[in-house]
Structure 1
Amino acid sequence: MFTDNEIGEWVRVKPNRATKTTVHFFYGDTEIRNNAPSSIFKGIANISENGSNGGLLWALGDNRRTLGVLAGNISGTKFNETGYYELDSLLNLVKKEDEKTISFMRDKVSIPKNVVTVDAASVLVVDDKGRRWRLPMGVEDFREKTENSAMRICREVATERDLFNCSGTFYELPAENADGFAKIRPVSSHNMQIHDYASYRGLFVLTGIQSDYSGDSEHIIQSTDGKAKLWAGTIDDLWKLGKPVGVGGPWKNTQVKANQPSDPYLIGFYDEKSIKISNHSKETVTYKIEVEPIGHGPWMTYKEFEIKGGEDLIYNFPHNFQSRWIRLVANKNTKATAWLEYK
């Protein structure tokens, strides 16, 4: 890790003998955010609330220049429509009668099913290339809504810029031609019941407002009949939700095969990081932690821990540790848990 007095315009590496190596520089700011969301998000329903005011969003074509909102009430994981509305350039949310658009939105804008899998260990994503990636989980309340497609998971909100909202964390997701999930980056974590989100005229708009909301936030837009409610801000406002946090891992009481690596698990861009490895077998097992710092490069051995049968090991990663992905390998067939916590 470079110190504050080590300055210069360029840096290079010179080995003392012929070798094959990888040199990767990671540049980042000190994380100064806390876990509390900004007050601008006041009025968005908490994930623990049973109900909220939701709605599907679609920026309408054919030069209509409005945002279609198929509004409804959410109870548990059920979405019950209450009407169709449109948001105009003056931010008026007006009820409309348009069966053609309503039918289109029901068919084409509904939230896709089975986008991700949430198991006991973490969120599992299998991308279009068949690659497996694991992401941290938020509070348990997200599980049911995720499994029942009650929350939008992914959407393009700017040209070649997708937002992936899963288990309480927003991520920047590059396009597939930029390696997609391999280069995913957490933006912020939250406990909000966000039903849908989209971009409109440079705004970032989302649904999932408290059913009984009656405040005066400038970010909340309501129809005159009170049945449709939106939050509007900018994409960059998401950095004000709170720093990325989460729990999970590649293994949870998993039958592990000798020398077979676990799925990659995201560790990049989190602040305080720790891992607890539990050896559930009776034999002593050596667990190797491998890291991958850039998303598409080789895996490298970081640490090896020998853990006796039935024992746990807790390791706190140093502040200057940086890698994008992490995985584990056991030297014997075993049953194990590898649990990471990001604070």
Structure 2
Amino acid sequence: MSQVGNPYPEIYNNARVLAVAPMMDWTDRHCRFFHRQLSRRALLYTEMVVADAVIHGNRERLLGFNTEEHPVALQLGGSDPEKLAKAARIGASFGYDEINLNVGCPSDRVQSGTFGACLMKVPELVGACVVAMKESVSIPVTVKCRIGVDDQDPEEALDRLAEVVFAAGADALWVHARKAWLQGLSPRENRDIPPLDYSRVYRLKEANPDRFIGINGGIQTIGEALDHLAHLDGVMLGRAAYHTPGILADVDDSIYGDGREAPILAEVVETMAAYAGRHIESGGRLSHITRHMTGLFHGRPGARRFRQILSTDATRPGAGPGVLHRALAEVDTDAREEAA
């Protein structure tokens, strides 16, 4: 695909944005296609892709996506401005609507590459990376960060990072409202143990009223998202959107106010069954798709059996779209009507 200009220039011109966070091993192209069936408006993010991989790896495997996923953002990992600029150009040529720089991931692999959350310690380098990417693409360039790392004072660290990245031309700053502890906590623990500090992100917005600032971390419901949007420009849902994806069905009306009726979840399953059939015909496996769908009917009668079937039958050799039909048959009809 070639870059033909940003088809979604309004992303950061709206009064509010609801996004699904980049999540390693989760938000792949199949997950994003699935989420798009639930919301036409939510901004979707790829998993983090390292700039070196984009430059030297199998680009179609790493970056390919379905046009129905728009608006979709590519998250890059790296700390070399020249490499990030090149990777951003490649991402834009594939048709992504935004390039996002990861300044929040605390994994050991990311630390060894001197990027991710450890970049909170070198805001000037982050700024240089943003400048290089902005000069390379015409689509929005954004940053996703933490409020600080290790012994940093979040008041000083976050203010400084925001000052630098906005001066560099960043179109938005998404803030995971926790510190990252690079020593002593695993990546999994870093998602739960450091306390959330939403008020710190609110203060950042108060100090930057004309800048787009969004929040991430521990947000479970659309109602909570709306509460945050009283203070901020955007909300990013992570694990809640993945484990209970049905909540995305309320996004278009509740967040964007477009009056769209919530999609019927049973029809979403049928769409995904057809999608899975095409994927299998091209050499893929059913489980590549169904692993993202197990929580679709969370809290509804039959949800447990739906999840069990997808978790077992869909992983068997030769499994086809019929597994999705069998799983759907276990969901109570009233629950399907409730979802309409």
TM-score (norm 1): 0.22
Instruction: Specify which structure has the bigger relative contact order, considering alpha-carbon pairs within 8 angstroms and separated by 6 or more residues.
Output: 1
Bigger strand share: 1
TM-score (norm 2): 0.22
Bigger helix share: 2
Larger radius of gyration: 1
